[in-house]
Amino acid sequence: MNNSKNKNNYNKLTKEEEYVIIEKGTEMPFSGEYEHENRKGVYICKRCNAPLYKSEDKFDAHCGWPSFDQEIKGAVKKVPDPDGERTEIQCANCGAHLGHVFLGEGFTKRNTRHCVNSISMKFIQDKN
């Protein structure tokens, strides 16, 4: 795993990936490859390969992006947007922009929705 905070050790990104991950952009809704991913596995950061989310914490919020109600402990940093309207989620290891977190929507018992850009992650399927 490539978990070094040295940016020279980060994975090479495409222009589209850089737009979302570095420039804090957003991919188009309903366009990401993981929105309907249902296999068992783990989602890792596209930039540094740090584990972020487990498949068992993923749910369909019908919002156009993959949604999770819990991150892997310590994997995600929550940062208020400058406008105070939303809370950004970043990879705690490398600072890659993942998306935003929303509370109180009632989708799951945890009452939390991490709305994540597919382009910010890679999916590693369980071998079992």
Per-residue pLDDT reduced to its tens digit, 74-120: 999 999 988 888 999 999 999 999 999 999 999 999 999 999 999 99
For the chain, which domains are there? 30-125 (2.170.150.20)
Q: Where are the beta strands (DSSP E) in the chain?
A: 41-45, 51-54, 58-59, 67-68, 76-80, 87-91, 97-103, 112-116, 121-125
Q: Report, as residue numbers or ranges, the catalytic residues.
A: 115
Report yes or no: 67 and 98 within 8 Å, Cβ to Cβ: no
Per-residue pLDDT reduced to its tens digit, 3-36: 445 667 899 999 999 999 999 999 999 999 999 9
